[in-house]
Structure 1
Amino acid sequence: MTLAAFVAIYFVHLAAAMSPGPAVLLGVRTSLREGFVRGTWLAVGIGLGACVWAAAAMFGLAILFKIAPALLTTLKFAGAAYLLYLAFKMWRHAAEPMTTELDEVVSARSNLGLVWQGIATQLANPKPAVFFGTIFLTFIPPHAPVWAYAVILGIVFFNDAGWNVVMARIFSLARSRAIYIGLKTHIDRVFGGLLGLLGLKLALT
């Protein structure tokens, strides 16, 4: 593969990673409530989840979905159910004070738990599967060497995790958190509502 091909893959995927979605939304909220470090752990999980979709696409996911379309439908509804569950939790706890809720969350979830939540959030949304199985694959030449696949997965992780680390830094700043504390109930309900809408959209399209 040429350097130009890797550059093209980098920018095409970066645009997809930066587009708003459940993972970015959850990353922003986690950083607001729990700080930069925990938002970064979630970002690592988001990057790993993107790598799972990318690897699956490079090794025949698109073909599998054509052979067994019911699999994509199953993934879609399972993902929608997970997003609606997260939306319900956000909405239900929106009115609780941040200090008490934060202590409970920190004690209940380890850093590894945040990584797994990032992975689960990515895998719950089959939209990346469509991106990686269509647009993404057109930039990878047939019979690319094995080392090229490793580099591409590194690009995918760097883009998805890196962008969400940037978001974690921005939304963990003292000013951002102060605004959040003052408007916590409204912001959490907006976030919950958006996640719910994304879940419904996923189920109905």
Structure 2
Amino acid sequence: MSSQVIFVSILGAILIGAMSPGPNFILVSRTAIAQGRSAGVAAALGMGLGGACLGGLALLGLSALLLRAETVFVLVKILGGLYLVYVGFRIFRHASTPLAFESNGPERARSLGSNLVTGLFIQLSNPKTVIVYGSIFAALLPAEPERWLMLALVPMLFGIEAGWYMVVALVFSARAPRRAYVRAKAWIDRTAGAVMAGLGARLAAEGISSRVW
């Protein structure tokens, strides 16, 4: 199999994983609806940075190391799950808060930075992602991959993760979704918060139930 085919196969597998529903999708879509396109794009960029970081760790072989160091892996799962619970609780708690539209100037810049950081942390909160990346690389990368292939993977992972979630942000920041959100904000936020907190609780419970202590 040529390096070009391997490259496309890896990117296709990563794209399919990125498109699967989860806390990342919930965060970006809700951010885009509630705060507008630029906020959603900032969160998408955070997702891309997180994906690039996790992909880099997997390429360095740290995914295999993480699996061997089970106690560390479990602790990361629990902490990541608790972070998702925290974010979900905040969304649920502020479900009845009136919608605040985008502002201008430094306040808006801080908000965009906060959205980027939140997207980054949400992406990094699930340690299983680096394991998935590592499994894909182990299955598809040759024993001695060409240098260009190794150098191109991390920036392309950023492009796939950020690109997909930018599409999500653009779709959900359109006028019709925003109008629907304004009409049903409380119910949408409560549902989104509950789902995200549930996913986090499940991740943390998996770590707690692991028999590594």
TM over 0.5: yes
CA distance in 2 between counterparts of 1:94 and 1:7 reads 41
How much does 1:143 deviate? 2.3
1:171 aligns with 2:169: no
CA distance in 2 between counterparts of 1:123 and 1:60 reads 17
How much does 1:138 deviate? 1.4
CA distance in 1 between counterparts of 2:7 and 2:37 reads 30
Identity of aligned residues (%): 33
Q: How many residues in Structure 1 have an aligned counterpart in Structure 2?
A: 202
Task: Name the amino acid aligned to 1:107.
Answer: E
Structure 2 gaps of 5+ residues are 207-213
* Structure 2 counterpart SS, 1:99: coil
1:92 aligns with 2:88: no
How much does 1:141 deviate? 1.5
Q: Output aligned runs, 1:155-194, within 5 Å.
A: 155-194=156-195
Is this contact kept in 2: 1:57–1:129, CA < 8 A? yes
The equivalent residue for 2:30 is 29
1:83 aligns with 2:84: yes
The equivalent residue for 1:128 is 129
How much does 1:2 deviate? 1.8
Is this contact kept in 1: 2:64–2:131, CA < 8 A? no
The equivalent residue for 1:137 is 138
Is this contact kept in 2: 1:49–1:122, CA < 8 A? yes
CA distance in 2 between counterparts of 1:76 and 1:6 reads 29
CA distance in 2 between counterparts of 1:9 and 1:66 reads 21
Task: Give TM-score, length-normalised by structure 2.
Answer: 0.89
1:110 aligns with 2:108: no
Is this contact kept in 2: 1:13–1:136, CA < 8 A? no
1:5 aligns with 2:33: no
* Structure 2 counterpart SS, 1:96: coil
CA distance in 2 between counterparts of 1:136 and 1:32 reads 35
CA distance in 2 between counterparts of 1:145 and 1:89 reads 46
How much does 1:144 deviate? 1.7
The equivalent residue for 2:210 is none
Task: Name the amino acid aligned to 1:169.
Answer: L
Is this contact kept in 2: 1:51–1:157, CA < 8 A? yes
Is this contact kept in 1: 2:92–2:194, CA < 8 A? yes
CA distance in 1 between counterparts of 2:205 and 2:100 reads 37
Is this contact kept in 2: 1:57–1:137, CA < 8 A? no
Change (3 A) 1:157 1:18: same
Task: Give TM-score, length-normalised by structure 1.
Answer: 0.92
How much does 1:147 deviate? 2.5
CA distance in 2 between counterparts of 1:122 and 1:196 reads 15
CA distance in 1 between counterparts of 2:6 and 2:164 reads 21
Structure 1 gaps of 5+ residues are none
